C-alpha cells in the first residue's frame, strides 16, 4: 500500500457551516476572506493556498494565503458572479511541492445580489390602494401610489397574494365564518374558476396590468416581491386535478388547514409526500419560475416551517439554477432551530423576533446573537415593524412616539427592514386582548387616507435617506453596543472598515417619558485620540455637539424626538501636529 506523503495539517477553516454541510452567504462583488490553521512537523514552513471556483467553471483558481497569526493563515478572492462558489485549502512544505495536503471538505459560499443584505421593504395590500369604498383597488391605483412610496425611500414593494380568491367557506369581516356576497374574502384562500397560483384576481386587473405594474415599479428603482403561499381554497383547480396532493378525512373529504387553536376552513394545505411527489414538487417550483418570467425575482414565502425541509432544499436550488438573482424571505415565526435550519437550507432572508424585543437587554442580546455569532454567516435578518397578522402591544399602547422608535430601531439595527402599509399612518386599532388589527383588510375592502393627520411619512423618508447616504448602515455584522447608565437608553454604532463613515444611534425606548443618560463612548475604536474633541451631528435634527473622550451626556424627549442618529466627525487638524 502506497502511503501518501502528507505532512501539513489543515484544520478549522472559517467560514464553515456544520462541517461544510451548508453554504455561507455573501453578496456580489465582496472580497471573500477564508482562514485556516495550517502547520507541520519540524522547522520547515508550510505554504498554503486558497482554491476556489464558480460551480459552473471546470477549472479551479488558486491564490496564495498569507500568514495571519500563530498557525492561522488567511486568503481571499472576489465574488464576481451570482450563484454558488466552491472553495477549500491546500498546503505543502515550503520546499516539497509534491507533498500536497488538502482539507477534507469542499466548502461552499452562495453569492446573492446586494439587495439580499441591504433592502427597504414596503408591504402593499393590493386591494386597499384605491379610493372607492366597498370596492377593490386595481393595478392602476397601485401604480398611482408608487411615487409616494418611492419618495419615502423604499426599494422593495411586497405584495400579499393577488390571485383569484376562493368563494366556498369564504371568511367575513374579522375572520368571521359568515360572509355576505359583497365581502371579498381572504386573499390567502387562493383559487377559483378564474385560476390558481398562476392567475390574477380579476378585480385587480389582468396579467398585462400586472406587467405594467412591475414595469412602473422598476422605473422608480423598486423591485416587486410577492407572496408564495402553498395553500388552496376549496375552489382551486388543483383539488379537482390532483386530489392526491391533499390530506383526506376518513369520509374522503379534503382536510382544511389548522394551526391549533386556529382553524382555516377556507384553505387546504398540501401533502408534500404523495406517491408522485417529485411531479408535485416540480409544479410547486413552477409557481416561482412562472412569476420570475413576469419580472418578480423576490419571494416572501408564507409559513415555510410547515413544509418539509427536503422540499425546500429541492425547490430553492431549482429556482436558483434558473434565476441566481432570486431572493427568498422566510416568514417563519417559529422556534429558533427551525428558523436557522431554513436559513441554512437556502432562504436568503428571514423574519425575526424583533417585533417582540422591546427592552434594552432584549434588543442588544438578540442583535448580538444575529450578528456576532456563527448565525451572521448564513442568517440575514429582515426587521419588520409590523405585519398584517402582528400589531405588537408596544405599538398599540405607545402611540405615535412608539411608531417612530420602532421605525428607527428596525432601520438602524438591521440593514434590511420593512413596514406593512398603515404603519406610516400610525394605525394601531387592535382586537381587544390580541396582537391583531381590528377590521383587518385581510377580510374586507379598505380605503386609506394616506395623508391622515399624525402620519410619519416625512420621518420615514428622513430615516431611509440617512440609510442610503451612510454605507455603515447597509451592513449588519459591524454593529457594536455602547454602555449607557439608563435602562431606557439604547446606544450602538456602526462603522465602515476604514472608519470613513461612523454612525452612532441613541434611542429612548420609553415612548412616554423624557430619559437621559451618560454614554461611555469607545472613541479609541474610531481612531480618535485621548483628549481630542470630535463632533457628532444629528442627521435627523441637524444639531451639532462637540464631545470629548468617553463620557458624554444625552437627553431624549419622545414627544420632541426619541432618537439621535449621529454622524461622528473626527477633527483632522490640531495645533500640536504642526512644527515651525
Chain segment 397-441, per-residue pLDDT in tens: 999 999 999 999 999 999 999 999 999 999 999 999 999 999 999
Q: Are 120 and 114 within 8 A, CB to CB? A: no
**C-alpha dist (Å) from residue 441 to 142, 263, 315:** 16, 19, 31
Active site residues: 302, 331
CATH 2.60.40.10 in the chain, residue ranges = 8-112
pLDDT at 178 over 80: yes
Q: Are 143 and 212 within 8 A, CB to CB? A: yes
Contacts of 309 (CB under 8 A, 6+ apart): 341, 342, 345
Predicted confidence at residue 115, as pLDDT, reads 98
Q: Mapping DSSP to helix (H, G, I), strand (E, B) and coil, where does residue 561 land?
A: coil
**What is the C-alpha to C-alpha distance for residues 235 and 445, in angstroms, rounded to an integer?**
21
Predicted confidence at residue 579, as pLDDT, reads 47
Predicted confidence at residue 2, as pLDDT, reads 52
- 43-47: average pLDDT: 88
- 184-189: average pLDDT: 97
Fold annotation for 479-577: Immunoglobulin-like (2.60.40)
Predicted confidence at residue 42, as pLDDT, reads 86
The pLDDT tens digits for 271-329 are: 999 999 999 999 999 999 999 999 999 999 999 999 999 999 999 999 999 999 999 99
pTM of the shown model: 0.96
Predicted confidence at residue 263, as pLDDT, reads 80
Grid cell digits, residue 213: 405594474
Predicted confidence at residue 580, as pLDDT, reads 45
Q: 260 falls in which pLDDT band (50, 70, 90)?
A: confident
pLDDT at 578 over 50: no
pLDDT at 3 over 70: no
CATH 2.60.40.1180 in the chain, residue ranges = 479-577
The pLDDT tens digits for 351-378 are: 999 999 999 999 999 999 999 999 999 9
Lowest average pLDDT, out of 41-45, 333-337, 481-485, 525-529, goes to 41-45
Class of domain 8-112: mainly beta
Grid cell digits, residue 425: 399612518
Predicted confidence at residue 98, as pLDDT, reads 87
Q: What crossing angle do the helices spanning 336-345 and 309-322 adopt, rounded to 10°?
A: 30
Q: Are 294 and 214 within 8 A, CB to CB? A: yes
Contacts of 297 (CB under 8 A, 6+ apart): 223, 323, 325, 326, 327
Q: How many CB atoms lie within 10 A of CB 279?
A: 11
Grid cell digits, residue 282: 416540480
Tell which residue, 124, 338, 106, has the closest CA to residue 227.
124
**What is the C-alpha to C-alpha distance for residues 38 and 45, in angstroms, rounded to an integer?**
10
The pLDDT tens digits for 136-157 are: 999 999 999 999 999 999 999 9
- 519-525: average pLDDT: 97
Q: 1 falls in which pLDDT band (50, 70, 90)?
A: very low
**C-alpha dist (Å) from residue 247 to 59, 114, 233, 242, 286:** 48, 40, 14, 11, 22
Backbone angles phi, psi at 430, to 5 degrees: -120, 160
- 248-272: average pLDDT: 90
CATH 3.20.20.80 in the chain, residue ranges = 120-227+285-473
pLDDT at 6 over 90: no
Q: Which CATH number fits domain 120-227+285-473: 3.90.600.10, 3.20.170.30, 3.20.20.80, 3.30.360.10?
A: 3.20.20.80
Grid cell digits, residue 37: 490553521
Mean pLDDT of the residues in the chain:
96
The pLDDT tens digits for 63-96 are: 999 999 989 999 999 999 999 999 999 999 988 8
Q: Are 425 and 454 within 8 A, CB to CB? A: yes
pLDDT at 445 over 70: yes
Grid cell digits, residue 13: 477553516
- 247-252: average pLDDT: 94
**What is the C-alpha to C-alpha distance for residues 181 and 189, in angstroms, rounded to an integer?**
16
Amino acid at each position: 500500500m502506497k502511503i501518501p506523503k502528507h505532512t501539513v495539517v489543515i484544520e478549522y477553516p472559517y467560514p464553515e457551516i456544520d462541517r461544510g454541510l451548508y453554504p455561507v452567504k455573501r453578496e456580489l462583488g465582496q472580497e471573500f476572506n477564508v482562514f485556516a490553521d495550517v502547520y507541520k512537523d519540524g522547522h520547515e514552513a508550510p505554504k498554503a493556498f486558497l482554491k476556489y471556483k464558480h460551480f459552473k467553471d471546470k477549472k479551479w483558481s488558486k491564490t496564495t494565503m498569507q500568514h495571519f497569526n500563530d498557525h492561522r493563515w488567511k486568503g481571499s478572492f472576489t465574488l464576481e458572479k451570482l450563484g454558488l462558489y466552491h472553495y477549500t485549502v491546500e498546503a505543502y512544505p515550503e520546499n516539497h511541492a509534491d507533498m500536497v495536503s488538502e482539507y477534507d471538505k469542499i466548502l461552499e459560499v452562495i453569492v446573492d445580489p446586494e439587495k439580499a443584505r441591504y433592502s427597504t421593504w414596503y408591504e402593499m395590500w393590493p386591494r386597499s390602494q384605491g379610493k372607492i369604498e366597498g370596492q377593490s383597488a386595481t393595478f392602476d391605483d397601485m401604480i398611482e401610489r408608487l411615487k409616494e412610496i418611492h419618495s419615502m425611500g423604499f426599494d422593495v414593494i411586497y405584495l400579499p397574494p393577488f390571485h383569484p380568491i376562493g368563494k366556498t367557506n369564504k371568511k367575513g369581516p374579522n375572520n368571521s365564518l359568515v360572509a355576505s356576497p359583497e365581502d371579498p374574502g381572504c386573499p390567502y384562500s387562493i383559487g377559483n374558476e378564474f385560476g390558481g397560483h398562476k392567475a390574477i384576481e380579476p378585480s385587480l386587473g389582468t396579467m398585462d396590468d400586472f406587467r405594467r405594474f412591475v414595469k412602473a415599479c422598476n422605473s422608480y428603482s423598486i423591485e416587486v416581491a410577492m407572496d408564495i403561499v402553498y395553500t388552496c381554497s376549496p375552489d382551486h383547480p388543483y383539488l379537482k386535478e390532483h386530489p392526491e396532493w391533499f390530506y383526506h378525512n376518513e369520509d374522503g373529504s379534503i382536510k382544511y388547514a389548522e394551526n391549533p387553536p386556529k382553524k382555516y376552513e377556507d384553505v387546504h394545505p398540501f401533502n408534500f409526500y404523495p406517491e408522485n411527489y417529485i411531479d408535485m414538487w416540480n409544479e410547486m417550483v413552477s409557481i416561482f419560475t412562472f412569476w420570475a418570467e413576469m419580472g418578480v425575482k423576490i419571494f416572501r414565502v408564507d409559513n415555510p416551517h410547515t413544509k418539509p425541509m427536503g422540499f425546500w432544499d429541492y425547490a430553492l436550488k431549482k429556482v436558483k439554477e434558473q434565476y441566481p438573482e432570486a431572493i427568498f424571505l422566510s416568514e417563519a415565526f417559529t422556534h429558533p432551530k427551525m428558523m436557522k435550519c431554513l436559513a441554512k437550507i437556502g432562504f436568503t432572508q428571514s423574519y425575526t423576533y424583533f417585533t417582540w424585543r422591546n427592552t434594552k437587554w432584549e434588543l442588544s442580546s438578540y442583535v448580538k446573537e444575529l450578528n456576532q455569532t456563527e448565525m451572521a454567516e448564513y442568517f440575514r435578518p429582515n426587521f419588520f415593524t409590523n405585519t398584517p397578522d402582528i400589531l405588537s402591544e408596544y405599538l398599540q399602547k405607545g402611540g405615535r412616539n412608539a411608531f417612530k422608535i420602532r421605525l428607527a430601531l428596525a432601520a438602524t439595527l438591521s440593514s434590511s427592514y420593512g413596514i406593512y402599509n398603515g404603519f406610516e399612518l400610525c394605525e394601531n386599532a387592535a382586537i381587544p386582548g390580541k396582537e391583531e388589527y381590528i377590521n383587518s383588510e385581510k377580510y374586507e375592502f379598505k380605503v386609506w387616507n394616506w395623508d391622515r393627520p399624525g402620519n410619519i411619512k416625512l420621518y420615514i423618508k428622513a430615516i431611509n435617506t440617512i440609510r442610503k447616504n451612510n454605507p455603515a448602515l447597509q451592513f449588519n455584522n459591524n454593529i457594536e453596543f455602547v454602555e449607557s447608565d439608563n435602562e431606557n437608553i439604547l446606544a450602538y454604532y456602526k462603522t465602515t472598515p476604514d472608519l470613513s463613515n461612523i454612525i452612532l444611534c441613541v434611542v429612548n425606548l420609553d415612548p412616554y417619558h423624557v430619559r437621559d443618560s451618560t454614554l461611555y463612548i469607545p472613541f479609541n475604536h474610531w481612531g480618535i485620540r485621548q483628549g481630542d474633541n470630535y463632533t457628532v451631528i444629528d442627521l435627523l435634527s441637524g444639531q451639532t455637539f462637540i464631545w470629548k473622550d468617553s463620557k458624554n451626556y444625552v437627553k431624549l424627549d419622545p414627544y420632541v424626538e426619541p432618537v439621535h442618529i449621529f454622524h461622528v466627525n473626527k477633527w483632522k487638524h490640531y495645533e500640536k501636529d504642526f512644527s515651525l
